[in-house]
A and B are shown apart, each in its own frame.
Chain A
Amino acid sequence: MASADPTAVSREPDPGRPARYDPVAQALHWGMAALIIGNFGLALYMEDLPPVPSTIELYNLHKSLGLAALALAAFRLGWRWRHPAPKIPDDHPRWEKTAAAASHYLLYLLIFLQPLSGLMIAFASQYPTTVFWAVNLPSPIDPSKAIESAAKAVHYWGQWAMAGVVGVHVLAALRHHFVLRNDILKRMLPGG
């Protein structure tokens, strides 16, 4: 898992660094995983639907789930700041620690970039955004095709960057669990 300083060497258990992720961090991790993968699937599905009212409602659902992901990402960043992640055991090679740190920084970047670029599309487009069938999101900016298409490009490439990094993340976790047979994955599982 990501450590603020992946090259630090310490033989002693760090009193400030737990051995496992706390339950809140675990709930955020798995909840956001389900939300993000679900919203990605919804996006791939709704893209090819005919432009009818039910499709508009699916787009609104996609935007609503994205806003929920953004709120959770912000909360998660705050939680992580106050509750440090467990340290990567020292017996892991240095390249693994560096790769883990890099991919986790990337994941944190992407869980903000995807909803924020989606939000920019919503703000710049001509379409109203209804959040969870309840309220319409006011836009702080005037409709702009330039901003809309720039945000769309970021959102498009961001989804594949996210898919790629999540793929690496999942494969790495499975490798730790089934090939290297260590406790890296268990630290993120309830009950461990």
Chain B
Amino acid sequence: MQAEDSALAFTASQSGSPVKGRFQQFQATIFFDPDDPAAGSLEVTIAMASATTDDSSRDQTLKGPDLFHVEEHPQAVFKADRFEKAEGENAYIAPGELTLRGVTNPLDLPFTLQIEGSGAGAIARAQGSVSIARLDYGVGQGDWRDTGTVADAVEIAIDVTAVRQ
């Protein structure tokens, strides 16, 4: 994975307005063969403490015990042990599991894949987005269980560029 060309963003909704954030550190290992997607696999490891929403006091709250609780759960992991072809050109699904704040739930990540070149050095760019319910993962304890101000649904967007090894 090319870190400098890759982004992992999330968009929460506060009072109906989008609040955008991103993880500045994450790693992805991808095995993918367009001719045999079922043989592929994907593992993304996210450093939760690298989350930022461009506001230091909000970031501090986000990483605190009631939300990400990064001290106890420093990493989130998305794992898929196969890919499926989806409808549409270059469209696939990674049926996997997301472990976030110590809670694991199944999550299907749809994405599109563009491959440039072939053989070693070929560049693949995967883009996709999926909506998760933060409370399914316990992101929101105590007062943060309330979804009237900050909604339960959080959009996650990936844009990963990888070079074939």
**Chains A and B bind each other:** yes
Docked pose: A18 CA to B144 CA in angstroms: 56
Residue pair A53, B144 in contact (C-beta under 8 Å) = yes
Q: Given A52-B142, A52-B143, A53-B144, does the pair A126, B53 have CB atoms closer than 8 Å? A: yes
Whether A53 contacts B143 in the complex (CB less than 8 A), given A127-B14, A128-B15, comes out as: yes
Q: How far is the CB of A48 from chain B (nearest CB, A)?
A: 13
Cβ contacts B46-79/A at 8 Å (1 or 0 each):
0000000111011001000010000000000000
Q: Is A78 an interface residue (CB 8 A)?
A: no
Q: Which residue of chain A has the shortest Cβ distance to B55 in the bound complex? A: A126
**B16 CB–A CB distance under 8 Å:** yes
Q: State whether A54 touches B14 (Cβ < 8 A).
A: no
| Min CB gap B8→A, angstroms | 19
Question: Who on chain B is nearest to A57 by CB?
Answer: B149
Residue B133 at the chain A interface, CB threshold 8 Å: no
Within 8 A of A (CB), among B109-156: 142-144, 146, 148-150
**Which of chain B's residues has its CB closest to A52's CB?**
B143
Is A136 positioned at the interface, with any CB of B under 8 Å from its CB? Answer: yes
Cβ-based interface call for B19 (8 A)? yes
Instruction: State whether the Cβ of A192 lies closer than 8 Å to any Cβ in chain B.
Output: no
* Chain A window 107-122, contacts with chain B (Cβ cutoff 8 Å), 1 for yes, 0 for no: 0000000000000000
Task: For residue B76, give the distance in angstroms from its CB to the closest CB of chain A.
Answer: 22
**Residues of B contacting A52 in the complex (Cβ-Cβ under 8 angstroms):** 66, 142-144, 146
- Known contacts A128-B19, A136-B16; A53/B150 CB under 8 A: yes
Q: What are 21 residue pairs bridging A and B, where the CB atoms are less than 8 Å apart in the complex? A: A50-B143, A51-B61, A52-B142, A52-B143, A52-B146, A53-B148, A53-B150, A56-B14, A56-B149, A57-B149, A60-B15, A125-B55, A126-B53, A127-B14, A128-B15, A128-B17, A128-B19, A130-B15, A130-B17, A136-B16, A143-B54
Contacts from A to B (Cβ < 8 Å): 50-54, 56-57, 60, 125-128, 130, 136, 143
